[in-house]
Chain A
Amino acid sequence: MKKVVRVAAGQGFWGDDLDAPRRQVEGGPIDYLMLDYLAEVTMSILQKQKERDSSLGYARDFVGAMESVLPAVAERGVKVVANAGGVNPRACAAAVKVMAGERGHRLKIGVVTGDDLLGRLDELIAAGHALANMDTGAPLSTVGGEVLSANAYIGSEPIVEALEKDASVVITGRSTDTALTMAPLRYEFGWGGSQWDQLAAGIIAGHIIECGAQCSGGNCLYDWRSIPDLANVGYPLVEGSPDGSFVVTKHPKSGGRVSVQTVTEQLVYEMGDPHSYITPDVVADFTTIRLTSAGDDRVLVSGIKGRPPTDKLKVSVAYRAGFKAVGTLVYAWPDALEKAQLADRVLHERLDRLGLSFDHIVSEYVGATATHGRLAGDQRNAPEVQLRFGVRGSDRAAVERFTREIAPLVLNGPPSVTGFAGGRPKVEEIVAYWPALIDKSVVKTKVDLIQ
């Protein structure tokens, strides 16, 4: 058994720095490259792509990422674990296989499926699985718009199985972000399914690095001016040990910083009840985490406790939920805020006169109160204020009509207005999310090897 296993994060979301995966395999020794591509919004985008072309539906950036790390994977044995498969993991694997083949390499690719429940929804609802909304309690049968995708968040077991079958690349669909890091540690150290403390530690390692550089100096408020070389920010890696403890660090000669403070900020990011971070594999307790500085850009994480998971998996359902558009205009000093407020009243009145009604309207004053509201204090002397006016509704034509009401205000509204060069606002279709739980027993994952 290895004494230390290095898992490096190379992608925190679909759209992250394309060069980060290559920097992670070239900047220093690593055993695994972990790439997280999936946010909730991503699954429905991928589902739409798959509907148009059945060979799509995965994060296509991944093929380029694999190309950039191919020498490390094929020649140095670095393994890759990624949830790039989206709603079509097999097609993703096929594309990687073709890319590698064209460059003279044969890769053993493990493909994890079984998370996609879209085709089974009617059957599941008929069998009594309400898929009630975790926030509102409403059963999925009452959802307003067309369902576009439905995926269960699956855990580490199928990834471990693929690694046991000697896959050098593992591609999953909607695997949890944290399992992508925990599974390689579990496989290498042979952690059993009830070694709760170690499994929880692996999950927390995953939580720390799943957002890429957000734990290594990116978006860090603590002493932000002093964080060096963000243009060359080092993405994080964990050096895991068999007992579950691990060190968070980054490659030498990279920018950013790994410190107790940068890691703590990431630990509290998107946190709910810290005693119960629920995953398919284990419930991790964030109140047991000990952080210790272990040298420059090194933080030791230890003491983590875990307990058995629940018998449910989280399911994310995406559905069509109407349309929205946001228009903006900028008003300049003097009385910038007051001018923007008058424009807001004029706009409301015009929409009323046109007989347009919306489910929801939000006006904000960027530069004054948009993010901190009344806490921002008196902003009457602001040098400039952007009126940001958003509408949402089920009638596309009404939202479309609204987008034509912004530009006229430049000539027929309050003075000192600018910032309209971007043209008419775009109408966006809203795909909303329905979080639900389902019995674990109905989700069967499958692992295939493609060579």
Chain B
Amino acid sequence: MKVRLVDIAHARSGDKGDTANVGVIALEPRWYSVLDEFVTRERVADHFRGMIEGDVERYDLPNLNALNFLLHGALDGGGTLSLKTDAQGKVYSTALLRMLIDVPDAEARRLELPAAK
């Protein structure tokens, strides 16, 4: 079943130099396992391919039902050098929530995941 992250998670993003961070938080604690399994570093790097210049790192915060992604080279130089509208990476959060993931039907039913519209 296709699931869109915006239906199972919320997020906030910010900046550190030319790196944007996106914290993705499961809307329900039992959905954290879905983020953990399907929102991999590789998957996120692929999602943002062509939009960021550097690597992606992932850190896990199971205590907060959250993952933290660092998107390097995401801010056109960052800070005051950047010419981008989103120079401080404030809305990479919802850009990540656009992601579609493919969850096996049985698991999706067991966790009562909402199907992507």
Minimum CB–CB distance from A19 to chain B (whole Å) comes to: 24
0/1 string, A360-373, CB within 8 A of B gives 1: 11101010001111
Most chain-A Cβ atoms within 10 A of its Cβ — which of B11, B66, B86, B91? Answer: B66
Most chain-B Cβ atoms within 10 A of its Cβ — which of A268, A289, A373, A431? Answer: A268
Minimum CB–CB distance from A252 to chain B (whole Å) comes to: 26
A40-B79, A431-B80, A433-B80 known; A372 vs B91 contact (CB < 8 Å): yes
Minimum CB–CB distance from B31 to chain A (whole Å) comes to: 13
Contact B63 A288, beta carbon cutoff 8 Å? yes
Q: Which residues of chain B have C-beta atoms less than 8 A from A98's C-beta?
A: none
The docked-state distance in angstroms from the alpha carbon of A345 to that of B76 is 21
Minimum CB–CB distance from B35 to chain A (whole Å) comes to: 13
0/1 string, B80-115, CB within 8 A of A gives 1: 110111100001011100100000000000000000
Nearest chain A residue, comparing its CB with the CB of B93: A221
Q: Which residues of chain A have C-beta atoms less than 8 A from B76's C-beta?
A: 360, 362
Nearest chain B residue, comparing its CB with the CB of A372: B95
Contact A274 B61, beta carbon cutoff 8 Å? yes
A289-B63, A374-B50 known; A269 vs B10 contact (CB < 8 Å): no
Contact A321 B81, beta carbon cutoff 8 Å? yes
The SS class assigned to the A binding surface is mixed
Nearest chain A residue, comparing its CB with the CB of B82: A362
Contact B68 A326, beta carbon cutoff 8 Å? no
- Say which one of A3-11, A388-396, A440-448 lies at the interface with B: A388-396
0/1 string, B50-72, CB within 8 A of A gives 1: 11000000011111111010100
> Mind listing 13 A-B residue pairs with CB under 8 Å?
A261-B10, A261-B25, A264-B25, A268-B64, A268-B66, A269-B13, A271-B23, A272-B21, A364-B84, A364-B85, A370-B86, A390-B83, A433-B80
Contact residues of A between 32 and 47, Cβ < 8 Å to B: 40-41
Contact residues of A between 271 and 313, Cβ < 8 Å to B: 271-275, 286-291, 303
Minimum CB–CB distance from B2 to chain A (whole Å) comes to: 15
Contact A289 B80, beta carbon cutoff 8 Å? no
Closest 8 CB pairs of A and B: A268-B23, A390-B83, A270-B14, A362-B83, A265-B12, A222-B10, A372-B95, A221-B10
Contact B61 A432, beta carbon cutoff 8 Å? no
B47 at the binding interface (Cβ < 8 Å): yes
Q: Which residues of chain B have C-beta atoms less than 8 A from A392's C-beta?
A: 81, 83
The docked-state distance in angstroms from the alpha carbon of A290 to that of B65 is 11
B16 at the binding interface (Cβ < 8 Å): yes
Number of B interface residues at 8 Å Cβ cutoff, please give it.
Answer: 40
Contact A287 B63, beta carbon cutoff 8 Å? yes
The docked-state distance in angstroms from the alpha carbon of A371 to that of B59 is 24
The docked-state distance in angstroms from the alpha carbon of A238 to that of B98 is 34
Contact B83 A265, beta carbon cutoff 8 Å? no
0/1 string, A377-418, CB within 8 A of B gives 1: 000000000001011100000000000000000000000000
Minimum CB–CB distance from B26 to chain A (whole Å) comes to: 10
Q: Which residues of chain A have C-beta atoms less than 8 A from B13's C-beta?
A: 269
Nearest chain A residue, comparing its CB with the CB of B11: A221
A274-B59, A388-B85 known; A268 vs B12 contact (CB < 8 Å): yes
Contact B85 A371, beta carbon cutoff 8 Å? yes
Most chain-B Cβ atoms within 10 A of its Cβ — which of A265, A362, A430, A431? Answer: A265
Contact A267 B50, beta carbon cutoff 8 Å? no
The docked-state distance in angstroms from the alpha carbon of A288 to that of B61 is 9
A219 at the binding interface (Cβ < 8 Å): yes
Q: Which residues of chain B have C-beta atoms less than 8 A from A431's C-beta?
A: 80
The docked-state distance in angstroms from the alpha carbon of A391 to that of B81 is 10
A135 at the binding interface (Cβ < 8 Å): yes
The docked-state distance in angstroms from the alpha carbon of A361 to that of B82 is 10
Contact of A272 among B16, B50, B93 (CB under 8 A): B16
Contact B80 A373, beta carbon cutoff 8 Å? no
Q: Which residues of chain B have C-beta atoms less than 8 A from A374's C-beta?
A: 50-51
Nearest chain B residue, comparing its CB with the CB of A290: B63
The docked-state distance in angstroms from the alpha carbon of A326 to that of B13 is 24
The docked-state distance in angstroms from the alpha carbon of A392 to that of B18 is 16
Q: Which residues of chain A have C-beta atoms less than 8 A from B86's C-beta?
A: 370-371
The docked-state distance in angstroms from the alpha carbon of A261 to that of B24 is 11
Contact A432 B79, beta carbon cutoff 8 Å? yes
Q: Which residues of chain B have C-beta atoms less than 8 A from A90's C-beta?
A: none
Contact A270 B68, beta carbon cutoff 8 Å? no
Contact A433 B79, beta carbon cutoff 8 Å? yes
Contact B91 A362, beta carbon cutoff 8 Å? no
A354 at the binding interface (Cβ < 8 Å): no
